[in-house]
Amino acid sequence: MSFKARILAGLVFAFGFAATTAYADDVPSLKGKRIGITVIGTEHYWDLKAYQGQMDEVKRLGGTAIALDGGRNDSRQISQIQTLIAQKPDVIIEQLGNGPVLQPWLKKVRDAGIPLFTVDTISPHSINDTTSDNFGIGEKLALQLASDIHGKGNILVFNGFYSVPVCAIRYDELKLVLKAFPDIKIITPELRDVIPNTVQNAYSQVTDMLSKYPNKGDIAAVWSAWDVPQVGATQAIVAAKRPEVRTYGVDGSPDVVKMVKDPASPASAVAAQQPYLIGKTAVDNAARYLAGNHDLPPYTFVPSVLVTKENAAEAEKALGQAS
């Protein structure tokens, strides 16, 4: 069985209907339907691919997309949600963002009688959230880190976006796994990733910490809830000539998968998602709902894979990233 087939088979076994939903071809038409799409931003690989997946699928199914990009600004996204509510589309799909800030406005969507679907946003007001299994992602990445550093050492952790539900889940899973490894310590204060200039900021912070902890063995690894900080951290480690420090992240952007594939790179693992498929699947679920299927599961999980030094070359091909 191929690597990609193993990914799909494992998810079908684990999630049953949810996994089947992500891959079924029997999707109703959206002809004559207007689909509102609100995303917090599109500058990151994951964000852009999930957005493109939605846009392409709405077009393929014959619908009309009303798409608004918040540009990483909470207030702007809220204003755009208000605009969408006023336009009364047949459905609204919301992607990512600050959970506590968004919830009152997502409630207003439902109060207006507009079906709400979400992408990577947990909300009691969403009919269905299409996402990866972030609990599993967080656990597997943390276990890989713990295994690679042999259960002991100090680690740097980026924790700047705990208000984003998927980031919070991954961070909480890290902390839960580390309870079983008392010899692994998180260096405090934790690092804070930022947007924009994420790579440059992570590079600067990690460079400073490598100077503060200059000896081999002072720092064993760097963890981040997404993979853009991982890029900056990896670059800083290479520049400081500290190859013993490993980096870990989530999303699986092509440049990060390539770093993991490089045997000389400190990038040791990245949990690779399939954002384009996540976006497409959200639209498919909305189409089913509009066609009368009101028995959708609250979550649809799309496969992800932990990319390591051992499987990176094969994973790159399975993810469609090989050049």
List of residues 6+ apart from 145 with CB closer than 8 A:
155, 221, 223, 246, 248, 268, 269
246 inside domain: yes
317 inside domain: no
Residue 242 to residue 219: CA distance in whole angstroms: 9
Domain around 117: 3-132+274-303
Query: How crowded is residue 244: how many other Cβ atoms within 10 Å of its Cβ?
Result: 14
Is 207 in the same domain as 167?
yes
264 inside domain: yes
Is 286 in the same domain as 266?
no
How would residue 14 be classed by pLDDT, with cut points 50, 70 and 90? very low
220 inside domain: yes
Cα–Cα separations (whole angstroms), residue 288 to 51, 123, 237, 285, 296: 19, 20, 48, 5, 8
pLDDT in the model for residue 20: 38
Is 199 in the same domain as 84?
no
User: Final residue of a domain: which of 272, 293, 311?
Assistant: 272
User: Which DSSP helix (H) or strand (E) runs through 29?
Assistant: none
How would residue 15 be classed by pLDDT, with cut points 50, 70 and 90? very low
Domain count of the chain?
A: 2
How would residue 18 be classed by pLDDT, with cut points 50, 70 and 90? very low
81 inside domain: yes
Averaged pLDDT of the chain? 93
Is 104 in the same domain as 208?
no
Burial 170-198 (b: 16+ CB within 10 A, else e): bbebbeebbeebeebeebeeebebeeeeb
Is 167 in the same domain as 217?
yes
Is 118 in the same domain as 128?
yes
Residue 20 to residue 273: CA distance in whole angstroms: 17
The encoded tokens of residue 208 equal 């400073």
Residue 93 to residue 282: CA distance in whole angstroms: 8
156 inside domain: yes
| pTM for the predicted model, two decimal places | 0.88
| CATH at residue 234 | 3.40.50.2300
The encoded tokens of residue 4 equal 């990609």
Is 89 in the same domain as 151?
no
Is 40 in the same domain as 128?
yes
Residue 306 to residue 168: CA distance in whole angstroms: 19
pLDDT in the model for residue 11: 39
